[in-house]
């Protein structure tokens, strides 16, 4: 027993460089917001955010291939960390570009400084989950990410919907956190460790040589899946999603459809694959079942939505279902077994990257229109191709990509997930994805149809269009349209990078004093 | 009778379930919030009990972190509840229905 023989070593700061850079960015934003003159705030704070996330993205280049852990095993820099951080940082940069002009022009000129600060802390939290080697780090990271997102959701505080959506999100979010925490407590009790590798060893010992699962192991597993199911908006734990997405300022909806979800999936991968990998025969069925009902409910309810933001919220639930198929296709012990495409976890992570480009894009077009005085109902998009042809083209690209038509990125994302499911002998799930994609064509194409064939509102009766310049948002739209077109065709390099995630499993525990 | 780890696990499970039922059944937003806090406190007891049983310190550390996070949740949550109840003039969650299908 080495209870009082704590062994402190110097942390290896180089391993945690991207996380550290984003954290310092957040501090710089706090100071900048406090001391910069009001006039220069917009440029300075936007610049600090973009440079910070960009530098963190660049520093991933050095983090790649390190495959080591620091802070007594609490933080790991392995292939999984690098790829998840890549997704989170790209989504963060896109979110800043989408938010900047919107927050300036819209929502009663709410203060910009706090917005960037909360965004940065939320990104730090998500990045910490990506590199967590310990359940404490997972919990703290998830909470840091979520708490900042709750406040961001309520950011348009003069609109009652914004605060109401935030409160619903908050109540269900902390409820889920409490359930997750209870699951972590049981996982700790069963293995005597909060360290992911320690749990893996402890759980393997606990289930070795028995054909049935002990009730306490099952309890821990269920609590963990339920708690994280809320965070990723899986059915039946999705109730907060439509309200929060609809109520939040549009750039925040874009942000929270990707980064908190990525953090939730990061936690799921870390806990289920890395810590509870020996139980994968049991949890893959659980995840597969949840994936099926998630994609079914998301798509069916999206059919009847007239509000495009709410439709995108249900579509986001459906996409969570597709992503979960990647996790369900995980097979412990045969990580490198894929011949055709990518293994399940890589497919899931590629899907998340694709989803960032598709979904932030769709919300960005809505934000672009809102800044020009339009609403977010389907009728507001009517005849858009005539009045704003470029916005209509970008929206069409994002919708078709979300639907999954080649050669756009959404098709490749679904392709890899389907191949992974077939290789894991889950043909029924692969068929379900195809059927659900066909169903989803109805509500995605309806948006395109309304934009191109709908009657444009009469110029004399409608409110005069506002002319505003939104250079950052335009840049973001161009980046995302190009990303949707190109990243699918050149997906092999991304998949190769993603497949390095399995260093997370082979990374040997080499820290003294940790079990 | 001697107190064992099982007693503490039973206590924390009971508190957790009381909190869980409160969240699911009560309509007052402040009560719901307090019930979630009760659930977190119950988990802290579970951590302490398991730390005792497994003879490690990790659980006690985790319990402290959980309490700190619960405090942060309270700060954000009460601000949100205050902001909304000023607007809607109610703390009943059924009254918050601007957003629905």
What one-character-per-residue DSSP string does A34-100 give?
Answer: HHS-GGGHHHHHHHHHHHHHHHHHHHHHHHTT--EEETTTTEEESHHHHHHHHHHHHHHHHHHHHHH
Residues of B in contact with A167 (CB under 8 A): 29, 80-81, 84, 96
B-chain residue closest to A141, CA distance: B69
Structure tokens at A324: 């979960």
CB contact under 8 A, A182 and B56: no
Residue A317 CA to residue A6 CA, distance in Å, equals 44
Residue A312 near residue A286, CB atoms below 8 Å: no
The answer to whether residues A146 and A156 touch, using CB atoms and an 8 Å cutoff, is: no
DSSP A211: S
What pLDDT score was predicted for residue A135? 94
Q: Do B99 and A175 touch (CB under 8 A)?
A: no
| Cross-strand bridge partners of residue A69 | A76
Q: Is the peptide bond before A96 cis (omega within 30 degrees of 0)?
A: no
pLDDT at A65 (0 to 100): 79
Sign of the dihedral through C-alpha B73, B79, B82, B85: negative
| All residues at 6 or more sequence positions from B74 whose CB lies less than 8 Å from its CB, including other chains | B33, B37
pLDDT at residue number A222? 94
What are the beta bridge partners of residue B92?
B28
pLDDT greater than 60 at residue A511 = no
Selected residue of B12, B84, B94, B97 to mutate for chain A interface (largest A Cβ count, 10 A): B84
Closest chain B residue by Cα to residue A216: B9
The dihedrals phi and psi of A68, each to the nearest 5 degrees, come to -150, 170
Residues of A in contact with B96 (CB under 8 A): 164, 167-168
Contacts with B64 (C-beta within 8 Å, 6 or more apart), sequence order: none
Count A/B contacts: CB-CB distance under 8 Å: 127
Q: Which residues of B fall within a CB distance of 8 Å from A246?
A: 99
DSSP state of A463: P
Answer whether A1 touches B (CB < 8 Å).
Answer: yes
Q: What is the ipTM of this complex?
A: 0.97
Q: What's B5-95's CATH class?
A: mainly alpha
**Selected residues 259-318 of chain A with any CB under 8 Å from a CB in chain B:** 301, 305, 310
Share of chain A above pLDDT 90, in %: 64
Q: Are A118 and A33 in contact (CB under 8 A)?
A: no
A379 touches chain B (CB under 8 A): no
Could A181 and B66 be called an inter-chain contact, meaning their C-beta atoms sit closer than 8 Å?
A: yes
- Rounded distance, CA B17 to CA B61, Å? 23
DSSP classification of residue B28? B
Pick B84's closest partner by Cβ from A163, A182, A243. A163
Collect all residues with Cβ–Cβ distance below 8 Å to B89 and sequence separation of at least 6: none
Residue range A24-39: mean pLDDT, rounded: 93
Kindly report, residue by residue over A326-369, the tens digit of the pLDDT: 999 988 765 444 455 668 899 999 999 999 999 999 999 999 99
Q: Which residues on adjacent β-strands are paired with residue A132? A: A75
Q: How confident is the model over A44-52, as a mean pLDDT?
A: 95
| CA atoms of A247 and A250, how far apart (whole Å) | 8
Which alpha helices (DSSP H) does chain B contain, by range? 5-25, 29-54, 58-88
| Residue whose pair of structure tokens reads 């899907």 in the numeric block | A351
pLDDT of A505 reads 78
Report the residue of chain B nearest A4, measured CA to CA: B57
What are the angstrom distances between the C-alpha of A382 and each of A374, A385, A386, B1? 11, 8, 9, 75
What mean pLDDT comes out for the span A417-428?
92
What are the pLDDT digits (tens) for A98-124? 998 887 766 566 788 899 999 999 999
Q: Would an 8 Å CB–CB cutoff place A500 in contact with chain B?
A: no
Query: Which range in A372-376, A405-409, A467-471 is most confidently predicted, on average pLDDT?
Result: A405-409
pLDDT value at A510 more than 70:
no
Share of chain A above pLDDT 70, in %: 91
Please give the pLDDT value at position A496.
86
Residue A462's pLDDT is 58
pLDDT band for B62, please (50, 70, 90 cuts). very high
Phi-psi region of A249 (alpha: psi -120 to 50; beta: other; left: phi over 0): beta
| Segment 163-222 of chain A within 8 Å of chain B by CB | 163-168, 170-171, 174-175, 177-179, 181-182, 184-186, 188-189, 192-195
**Amino acid B46: pLDDT:** 95
Token couple for A432: 């379900």
Is the predicted pLDDT of residue A499 greater than 80, yes or no? yes
Residues of B in contact with A195 (CB under 8 A): 58
Q: Which residue has the tokens 């509500």?
A: A443
Segment A176-214, tens digit of pLDDT: 999 999 999 999 999 889 999 899 888 888 777 666 678
pLDDT digits (tens, 9 = 90+) for A293-313: 999 999 999 999 999 999 999
| Model pLDDT, residue A332 | 73
The number of beta carbons lying within 10 Å of the beta carbon of residue A374 is 21
Three-state DSSP class for A382? coil
- For A303, other C-beta atoms within 10 Å of its C-beta total 13
Averaged over B67-91, what is the pLDDT? 92
- Return the pLDDT at A4: 55
Q: Which residues of B touch A189 (CB under 8 A)?
A: 46, 49-50, 53-54, 59
Largest distance between two CA atoms of chain B: 56
Residue A466 pLDDT > 70: no
Cα separation, A51 vs A63, whole angstroms:
18
Averaged confidence pLDDT in chain A: 88
Q: Which residues of B touch A305 (CB under 8 A)?
A: 101
The predicted structure's pLDDT at residue A71: 86
pLDDT at A464: 59
Pick from A3, A166, A171: CB nearest B55: A3
Instruction: Give the DSSP H/E element, type plus range, for residue A271.
Output: none
What's the whole-number mean pLDDT along residues A369-395? 90
What's this model's pTM, rounded to 2 decimal places?
0.94
Domain ranges of chain B: 5-95
CB-count exposure of residue B25 (10 Å: 0-12, 13-18, 19+): exposed
pLDDT tens-place string over residues A377-386: 998 899 889 8
> Which residue has tokens 């293995």?
A191
pLDDT at A169 over 50: yes
User: Which among B23, B61, B96 is the nearest to A167, CB-wise?
Assistant: B96
- A214: tokens are 């002990």
Helix (H, G, I), strand (E, B) or coil at A377: strand
For the residues B54-81, what does the mean pLDDT come to?
A: 94
User: Is B80 in Cβ contact with A175 (below 8 Å)?
Assistant: no
Q: Report pLDDT for A92.
A: 96
Confidence of residue A64 (pLDDT cuts 50, 70, 90): confident
């Amino acid at each position: 027993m080495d209870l009082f023989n704590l062994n402190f070593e110097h942390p290896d700061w180089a391993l945690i460089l991207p996380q550290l850079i984003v954290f310092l960015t957040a501090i710089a934003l706090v100071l900048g917001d406090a001391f910069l003159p009001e006039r220069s705030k917009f440029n300075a704070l936007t610049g600090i955010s973009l440079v910070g996330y960009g530098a963190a993205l660049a520093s991933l280049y050095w983090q790649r291939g390190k495959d080591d852990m620091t802070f007594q095993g609490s933080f790991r820099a392995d292939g999984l960390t690098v790829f998840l951080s890549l997704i989170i940082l790209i989504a963060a940069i896109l979110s800043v570009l989408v938010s900047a002009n919107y927050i300036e022009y819209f929502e009663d000129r709410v203060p910009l400084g706090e917005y960037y600060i909360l965004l940065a802390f939320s990104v730090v939290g998500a990045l910490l989950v990506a590199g967590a080697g310990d359940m404490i780090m997972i919990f703290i990271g998830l909470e840091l990410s979520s708490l900042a997102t709750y406040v961001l959701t309520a950011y348009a505080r003069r609109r009652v919907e914004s605060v109401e959506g935030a409160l619903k999100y908050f109540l269900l979010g902390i409820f889920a956190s409490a359930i997750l925490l209870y699951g972590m407590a049981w996982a700790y009790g069963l293995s005597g460790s909060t360290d992911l590798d320690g749990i893996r060893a402890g759980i393997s010992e606990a289930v070795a040589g028995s054909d049935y699962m002990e009730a306490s192991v099952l309890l821990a597993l269920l609590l963990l899946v339920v708690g994280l199911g809320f965070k990723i908006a899986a059915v039946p734990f999705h109730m907060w999603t439509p309200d929060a997405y609809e109520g939040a300022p549009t750039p925040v909806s874009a942000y929270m459809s990707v980064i908190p979800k990525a953090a939730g999936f990061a936690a799921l991968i870390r806990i289920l694959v890395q810590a509870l990998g020996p139980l994968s025969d049991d949890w893959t069925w659980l995840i597969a079942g949840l994936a099926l009902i998630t994609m079914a409910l998301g798509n069916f309810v999206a059919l009847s939505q007239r509000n495009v933001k709410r439709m995108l919220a249900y579509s986001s639930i459906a996409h969570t279902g597709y992503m979960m198929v990647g996790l369900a296709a995980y097979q412990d012990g045969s990580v490198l077994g894929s011949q055709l495409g990518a293994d399940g976890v890589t497919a899931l992570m590629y899907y998340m990257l694709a989803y960032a480009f598709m979904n932030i894009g769709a919300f960005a077009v809505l934000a672009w229109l809102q800044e020009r005085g339009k609403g977010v109902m389907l009728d507001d998009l009517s005849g858009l191709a005539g009045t704003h042809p470029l916005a209509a083209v970008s929206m069409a690209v994002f919708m078709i990509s979300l639907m999954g038509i080649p050669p756009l990125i959404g098709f490749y994302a679904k392709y890899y997930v389907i191949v992974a499911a077939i290789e894991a002998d889950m043909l029924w799930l692969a068929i379900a994805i195809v059927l659900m994609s066909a169903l989803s064509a109805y509500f995605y194409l309806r948006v395109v149809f309304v934009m191109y064939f709908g009657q444009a509102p009469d110029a004399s009766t409608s409110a005069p269009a506002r002319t505003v310049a939104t250079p950052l948002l335009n840049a973001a739209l161009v980046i995302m349209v190009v990303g949707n077109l190109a990243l699918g065709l050149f997906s092999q390099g991304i998949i190769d990078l993603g497949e390095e995630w399995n260093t997370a499993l082979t990374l040997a525990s080499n820290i003294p004093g940790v079990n | 009778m001697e107190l064992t780890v099982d007693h503490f696990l039973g206590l924390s499970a009971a508190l957790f379930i009381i909190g869980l039922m409160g969240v699911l059944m009560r309509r007052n937003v402040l009560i719901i919030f307090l019930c979630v806090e009760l659930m977190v406190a119950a988990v802290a007891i579970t951590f302490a009990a398991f730390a005792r049983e497994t003879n490690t310190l990790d659980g006690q550390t985790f319990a402290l972190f959980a309490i700190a996070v619960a405090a942060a949740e309270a700060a954000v949550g009460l601000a949100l509840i205050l902001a909304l109840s000023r607007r809607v003039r109610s703390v009943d969650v059924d009254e918050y229905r601007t957003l629905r299908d």
